[in-house]
Chain A
Amino acid sequence: MSFLVALLIIAAGPASADAEAEAHAIGQRLRCPVCQGMPISESPSEMAQAMMSKVREMQAEGSSREQIFDYFTQRYGDWVLLEPRKEGVLILLWTLPPIALLLGLFVLRRYTKRGAPAKAGNAAVAASDPYIDAVRREVEQ
């Protein structure tokens, strides 16, 4: 009998460890509503602990990660997600920074390119300036 129980514990061990790891991963992405920007998995507050219990309860009922996020966003809005979803208008939060970076690089490149020929042009003008030519001849003599 005790052998059977031991077997059950050994069998359940990795599964429950996986479930707890998954609960922790979900909790890492949910904002604690009574803390300052902390995930519920790290906050010691009673509210965060209660939310973690809800996560575990929903997991045990077979809810998927997305269903758990849906449950919390239906109550706290997208505010509760520490990592915004990659859908709808929120996709702008993911796409705008790299677009702005690329745009900035493009503008920078354009301006530096434009600046280079201008300098060369000035040098050419300076080279053909009669006053500069005269000074150069005087120096060479």
Chain B
Amino acid sequence: MKWRNVIIAALIALPLIGLLAFGFGRDPHAVPFALRDKPAPDFTLRTLSGATMKLSELRGKPVVINFWASWCEPCKYEHDMLQQASSYYGETVQFVGIVYQDSEEAVRDYLQKHASAYPHLLDPTTSVAIDYGISGVPETYLVDKDGVVREKSPGVISGQELRRWLDNRLGGS
């Protein structure tokens, strides 16, 4: 009789403990990566130089999309690394910056003081940021050569992580 009660209690308690462990093991504010392995939402945006850039026209090589803003302090930590990575990978990888909720003047001012090795696009209505499920900046995505979203880094991306992403896609070491 006692064993029966113990088994019943365990049957009730164990799923609850499992549920709590699952819940407490996750960050409730973390936005899931819903676009993983899905076609990248296409966009046509204006660059700071006035030209337009369409994502689907970049097919054939991986594209690193970095959402950033000049007012965003963490974005500044990764800025130099992204410029260096863009120079290192050269023509094999396309790097693109998408400006998130920032003024064109502030972005121009920031990029004049810092290096700018790749195009930065303006998203004045935040529609592309919403299309990619952005929950803040910085946020970085990797779109493969076939236009499929493969990786996402919420927050500051490290050089090692970016290298792992790109070496996997380019078949390097």
The reply to whether the CB of A141 lies closer than 8 angstroms to some CB of chain B is no
A50-B129 contact in complex given A33-B134, A33-B136, A34-B135, C-beta closer than 8 Å = yes
Chain B residue nearest to A49 (CB atoms) is B126
Bound Cα distance A130, B41 (Å): 89
Which residue of chain B lies nearest to A74 when distances are taken between CB atoms in the complex?
B34
A53 is an interface residue with CB less than 8 A from chain B:
yes
> Is there an interface contact between A79 and B130, defined as CB atoms closer than 8 Å?
no
Would you give 21 A-B contacts (Cβ < 8 Å), ordered by A? A34-B135, A34-B136, A47-B101, A47-B129, A47-B130, A50-B125, A50-B129, A51-B130, A53-B125, A54-B127, A75-B34, A75-B132, A76-B31, A76-B32, A76-B34, A76-B135, A77-B31, A77-B32, A77-B33, A77-B133, A78-B32
Having A34-B135, A50-B126, A50-B130, one finds 13 other A-B pairs with CB under 8 Å, namely: A33-B135, A47-B126, A47-B129, A47-B130, A47-B135, A51-B130, A54-B130, A73-B34, A74-B34, A74-B35, A75-B131, A76-B32, A77-B133
Interface SS majority for chain B: loop
A residues lining the B interface (CB < 8 Å):
33-34, 36, 46-47, 50-51, 53-54, 73-80
Nearest to B30 among chain A residues (CB) is A79
- Give how many B residues have a beta carbon under 8 Å from the other chain's beta carbons: 20
Residues of B within 8 A of A36 (CB): 29
**Which residues of chain A are within 8 angstroms of B132 by Cβ–Cβ distance?**
75
Instruction: Point out which of B32, B38, B41 has the most chain A C-beta atoms below 10 A from its C-beta.
Output: B32
Bound state CA distance, A50 and B129, in angstroms?
Answer: 10
CB of B2, distance to nearest CB on chain A (Å): 15
Q: Nearest chain B CB to A127's CB is how many angstroms away?
A: 27
Q: Closest Cβ of chain A: how far from B14's Cβ, in Å?
A: 14
CA distance A36 to B127 in the complex (A): 21
Find chain B residues with CB under 8 A from A79 CB.
Answer: 31-32
Complexed CA–CA distance, A26 and B41 (Å): 23
Determine which of B35, B101, B136 lies in contact with A75 in the assembled complex, contact meaning CB atoms within 8 Å.
Answer: B35
